[in-house]
Amino acid sequence: MRGDKVNIGVVGAGSFADLWYLPILKKHPFVKIQAICSVSGASAKKLAEKYDIQSRYVSYKDMFDSEKLDGICIVTPNDSHFPIAVDASKRGIHVICEKPLAIDQYEASSMVESARNNQIVHGINFTYRENPAVKVLKSYLDDGIIGKIYEGRFQYTGGYGLSGSPGWRGTKSKGGVGGVLADLGSHLIDLVQYVLSERISSVQSSISFLHDGRLKSIHEMEIHDQSADSVFFNASFSSGAHGSFYTSWISDQGNRNQTIELSFFGSKGAIEFLSSELGVQLRYAPRGEIWKDIHVETAAKWNNLADSSEERFRPWRLTDQNIIWKWIDLIIEKQKTGRCGLTSIPTFEGGYSVQKVIDAVIQSSYKRKEILIDY
């Protein structure tokens, strides 16, 4: 912390940096956005002008060499997360990374090790943990409201892939073969493991690619630089519970744009969470009784007639509940006291756990068999 501000650099200057990272960094009273970089330089120039950032670069290494940074935000394609994060860690620069953590579990493991060895404040932007209804859902499950959990049904879907490849996310070379599994599925896996406080122990999957107007298997797509568009997998947990996961960006959403659905079934009842750009619905049914809505403060109630909006889907984006804001607070705490707890944000360890599941799902589809996950 230099002066009364934390100096932050942003690596990546795409639309999500503009939507999610830069507005909250600008709003935090103890942040100075010191520099930004992008490969072409054009998008960095545009956002530097918009957010009054003095320095811009085309190389993150040049930015690290030239600027005295306390922390960086990595908002780049998936294949670049690993080298950027490890370089920053070795320099003692704190890191928050966009999901998924890496291309595979081996890169993710190295990122965890480097962050630990260099004692940096590290986080990953699994933002939906901050949904107020998710927090209520987790508290209900922790309190045993539906008893012992036996089954679950989990979905995170969108329709934007129906109009064509979703940029670099739709390529194996930049986004990884998992495609939507890395994009939306990483959030879904993290959410379920987070609210259950339990890791997935095995998976069996089916992965599909929309190519030339039809769905094709992973084996038909080996020569194409295209990533997966639709993924189903069954998962088992160490407790014996099991559930089905579905993630897709070729599932038409009507006016919802994107939708998250989590359903849990237990010995004493069921609970369901539904979230989209129309709002949030959380409801519970004791076994054999009627469904009851659960009121959630600070969340927009589900309304089919509402205009789809970011504010109804992620109302915490510009508040101190944003994970980037919390990461900044942890940096300040560490620089003032020499220590900090990382329990308030998802860390690289959480990203590594999710990456192991992603890799297992891909392996299961290739091998057409159940894959056990060893942590």
Q: Which pLDDT score is estimated for 91?
A: 98
Boundaries of every domain in the chain: 6-127+317-343, 129-315+355-371
Whole-angstrom Cα distance, residue 177 to residue 183?
A: 11
Question: By three-state DSSP, how is residue 208 classified?
Answer: strand
Whole-angstrom Cα distance, residue 36 to residue 14?
A: 11
Class of the CATH-defined domain 129-315+355-371:
alpha beta
What does the pLDDT look like over 204-238, one tens digit per residue? 999 999 999 999 999 999 999 999 999 999 999 99
Pairing between strand 230-237 and 242-248? Answer: antiparallel
Fold entry, domain 6-127+317-343: Rossmann fold (3.40.50)
- Predicted TM-score (pTM) of the model is 0.97
- pLDDT band for 342, please (50, 70, 90 cuts): confident
Whole-angstrom Cα distance, residue 39 to residue 170?
A: 19
Q: Which residues of 182-216 are buried (b: 16+ CB within 10 A; e: fewer)?
A: bbbbbbbbbbbbbbbeebbbbbbbbbbbbeeeeeb
**What's the average model confidence in pLDDT over 296-318?**
95
**What's the average model confidence in pLDDT over 64-90?**
98
Residue 21 has pLDDT above 70, yes or no: yes
Q: What is the DSSP string of 22-79?
A: HHHHHHSTTEEEEEEE-SSSHHHHHHHHHHT-SEEES-HHHHHHHS--SEEEE-S-GG
- pLDDT band for 286, please (50, 70, 90 cuts): very high
Q: Which pLDDT score is estimated for 3?
A: 59
Q: Which pLDDT score is estimated for 370?
A: 98
